[in-house]
Structure 1
Amino acid sequence: MFKKGSKLFGILKGVCPKCHNESMYKNSNPYAVTQLFEMQESCSHCKTKYKIEPSFFYGSMYVSYGVGIAFAVAAFVISYLFLGSSLNVAFIAIVLAMFAFYPIIIRVSRNIWINLFMSYDKTKD
């Protein structure tokens, strides 16, 4: 399930969607916020171009909405249902979780978006 060649591997690792050999990002740490959006132009291993068209990753904003909702629901469930906090504290937990996980949400959304349009190719490996 998390093995090289699966969509989930490509999404969680942020690697080239065609060969899964290198990171798409110049800095693989999402918390280096000054470099959060900086991506390689193409894969140095298989030469796959990441920006299929100009403004390609604008579509990932739609994905980030869904991923953000998932993180917010998880924060609410953990805070309100499992820890038994009040609704006000649960709301604060949601805001803090969204703030803390924003870089991860952005990167995962971009990874999901590009993996919708490209698939792993064994011949590129």
Structure 2
Amino acid sequence: MEQPATAIPSTVLALLDLRCPRCHTGKLFKHPALSFSFMEMPDECPVCRQTYEPEPGFYYGAMYISSGFSTGILLMIGFLLYFFAHDPPVWVYVTTVAVAVLAVTPLLFRYSRAVMLYGFGGARFDPRFLTR
């Protein structure tokens, strides 16, 4: 697996780029988001050997984060349709939200896991890994 030469110094940018929370270099997922294997994560970071699953069942909490992301999408689309499409019928709301959430499911999955790992995984950025 090819890795970038230097780490990303910003924690926010490393999270957005789905990188390891400790070294900000290793990728959190094995395959691109637009593949059928978008859910596969390595067991540990290929650069710093940080484990990506601190305990069994750790990512069950990511379901709550994903639910929050989905709720945000629902509210945003609801407000946009209400104000810009002049309150269309209910089926338009339901269809639009369903299509939008299904379209971004790989991203919801990945970012909910990344937020869970960064927030509750116990690993913090270690500048010693910037030079590797």
1:105 matches 2:123: no
Q: Deviations over 1:5-64 (max 9, x none)?
A: 33322321111111111211011x2221x3122101111211111111112111111111
In structure 1, the residue matched to 2:68 is 66
Matched-pair identity in %: 27
In structure 2, the residue matched to 1:18 is 22
Per the TM alignment, residue 104 of structure 1 is displaced from its structure 2 partner at its CA by: 0.8
Residue of structure 1 aligned with 2:97, choices 94, 97, 116: 94
* Structure 1 Cα separation of the partners of residues 106 and 93 of structure 2: 21
- Please give the secondary structure, in 2, of the residue aligned with 1:67: helix
- Does the CA contact (< 8 Å) of 2:39 and 2:106 recur in 1? no
- Which AA in structure 1 matches 2:125? Y
- The count of residues paired between Structure 1 and Structure 2 equals 121
In structure 1, the residue matched to 2:13 is 9
- Name the stretch that deviates more: 81-90 or 98-107: 81-90
- Which AA in structure 2 matches 1:90? Y
The structure having more radius of gyration, on CA atoms, is 2
Q: TM-score, normalised by structure 1?
A: 0.85
RMSD: 1.9
In structure 1, the residue matched to 2:5 is none
* Structure 1 Cα separation of the partners of residues 87 and 99 of structure 2: 15
